A = this chain, B = another copy of it.
Amino acid sequence: MVEDSFVDERLLKKVPRWRNYLAAKLGFRNHWYPIMFSRELGENEVVSRKLMGEDILLKRIDGKVHAIRDRCLHRGVKFSEKVECYTRNTVTCWYHGFTYRWEDGTLCDIIASPNTPIIGKKAIHSYPVQEAKGLVFVFVGDADYEPHPLSQDVPPTFLDDTMEVHGSSYMVQSNWRLGCENGIDDLHIYLHRQSPLVPNTQRSLPLGHTDRPVDFFELHEEQGQPKGVSTRTFKDAAPMAYEGRVEGKIVVTGTKMHQTPEEAAKKRTTGHYICMPGVLRVDNFPFVGRFQFEWYVPITEDSHLYIITIGKPCANDEERAEHEHEFWHRWKPVSLEGFNNEDVFAREALQPFYEHDQNWLEETLVTEDNGIIMWRELCHRNGPSVQKPSDII
């Protein structure tokens, strides 16, 4: 990949307002990404995970998680092919005994060549790591970029002290951007009309939306804040479609609960907030008083890790225990694997079209897709650090 871009320059030129987004097949650097749940990495355990095309080796030492590139400086083999840890604080390559410190990646010893001058002078890339709300976040960044606080890379309220979060993750066979775009797509609710979540929660679910105000979406680009797009709350102002017509006849209906059709057509209880590097908050979902936080983490060009969490502000241990129980016994089967599996189906169905880069210019977006365009342009403005082939290979 001598040109060092995943996408042909001639195509990028055609979308000047979102060229960085089109180029970002493997995401944007200089951001915090969740790589796994904290519960998946025990003390002294070593695991290898791919993130944005980079192989990363993680170990938990004295409770703290460390992350280094899973690739020996010397000849590029993966440590994880055969993990050797002679001391708690180091990992040794199985091939020639190159030994690195977990702390900072320093090459501290070479067993097969103990007097080599480069010892102590070279280091493998080590990634800043932070744990929050049961997730392990890794900062994939450039050498000259000082990591910003995690709070700039998650939607507001996620880090609130009272927010109790539980979740699960799924590997999806589509590019991460298709995850984002399906997530913020207002119209795809049609897809979910027969979801088991609807009878379970006894909530209304329209088939779509109509006549949204032009300023329905709000941009967030303040310095030091998450960069994102959210829906405004328009009480009595965002009509919904509950009746689906084909050639003038009603052929399908949405679900209206405990309300007159007029009420149902106007009341909107959910809303969303997506921010870079690809994380969405859905308010009052899967039920009133809950917040779904979900990530679309780039893994390879054609797969992303779909991390779904449900947060609920809790005042005490009893509420926390109740929320935890509800997550595992209600939301995971009914919402994550009932409702959100339909989203996974859709994203994987989008992949054969969008995997051809030129097809990003062949889609036919409608007025109601303006939130998607706002998101693309926001990423372009705020994401100059596109992950490039040379970052991976």
Contacts of A214 in B (CB 8 A): none
| A55 and chain B: residue at smallest CB distance | B352
Q: Is residue A244 contacting chain B, with contact meaning CB distance below 8 A?
A: yes
Contacts of A113 in B (CB 8 A): 187, 208-210, 241, 366-368
Q: Which of A104-140 contact B (CB under 8 A)?
A: 108-118, 122
Cα distance A21–B219 in the bound complex, in angstroms: 53
**What is the total number of copies of this protein in its complex?**
3
| Cβ-defined contact, A111 with B241, below 8 A | yes
| Cβ-defined contact, B247 with A90, below 8 A | yes
Q: Is residue A246 contacting chain B, with contact meaning CB distance below 8 A?
A: yes
| Cβ-defined contact, B77 with A346, below 8 A | yes
How many chain A residues touch B (CB < 8 A): the figure is 74
Contacts of A122 in B (CB 8 A): 364
| Cβ-defined contact, B74 with A364, below 8 A | yes
Contacts of A362 in B (CB 8 A): 76, 393
Contacts A74-B366, A191-B95: A247 and B108 contacting too (C-beta < 8 A)?
Answer: yes
Cα distance A376–B76 in the bound complex, in angstroms: 18
Contacts of A95 in B (CB 8 A): 188, 190-191, 346, 349
Contacts of A247 in B (CB 8 A): 87, 89-90, 108-109
Interface 0/1 of A73-90, CB less than 8 Å to B: 111111001100011011
Interface 0/1 of A50-88, CB less than 8 Å to B: 000000000000000000000101111110011000110
Q: Is residue A1 contacting chain B, with contact meaning CB distance below 8 A?
A: yes
Contacts of A363 in B (CB 8 A): 74-76
| A360 and chain B: residue at smallest CB distance | B76
Q: Is residue A365 contacting chain B, with contact meaning CB distance below 8 A?
A: yes
Cα distance A364–B77 in the bound complex, in angstroms: 12
Q: Is residue A236 contacting chain B, with contact meaning CB distance below 8 A?
A: no
Contacts of A108 in B (CB 8 A): 246-247
| Cβ-defined contact, A110 with B353, below 8 A | no
Most chain-B Cβ atoms within 10 A of its Cβ — which of A189, A211, A345, A364? A364
Q: Is residue A356 contacting chain B, with contact meaning CB distance below 8 A?
A: yes
Cα distance A113–B190 in the bound complex, in angstroms: 10
Contacts of A11 in B (CB 8 A): 2
Min Cβ gap A348→B in Å is: 9
Contacts A112-B187, A112-B208, A112-B241: A246 and B99 contacting too (C-beta < 8 A)?
Answer: yes
| Cβ-defined contact, A116 with B76, below 8 A | no
Q: Is residue A358 contacting chain B, with contact meaning CB distance below 8 A?
A: yes
15 contacts between A and B (CB under 8 A): A1-B358, A2-B8, A2-B358, A73-B364, A74-B364, A74-B366, A75-B364, A75-B365, A81-B349, A108-B247, A109-B246, A111-B207, A112-B187, A113-B367, A114-B208
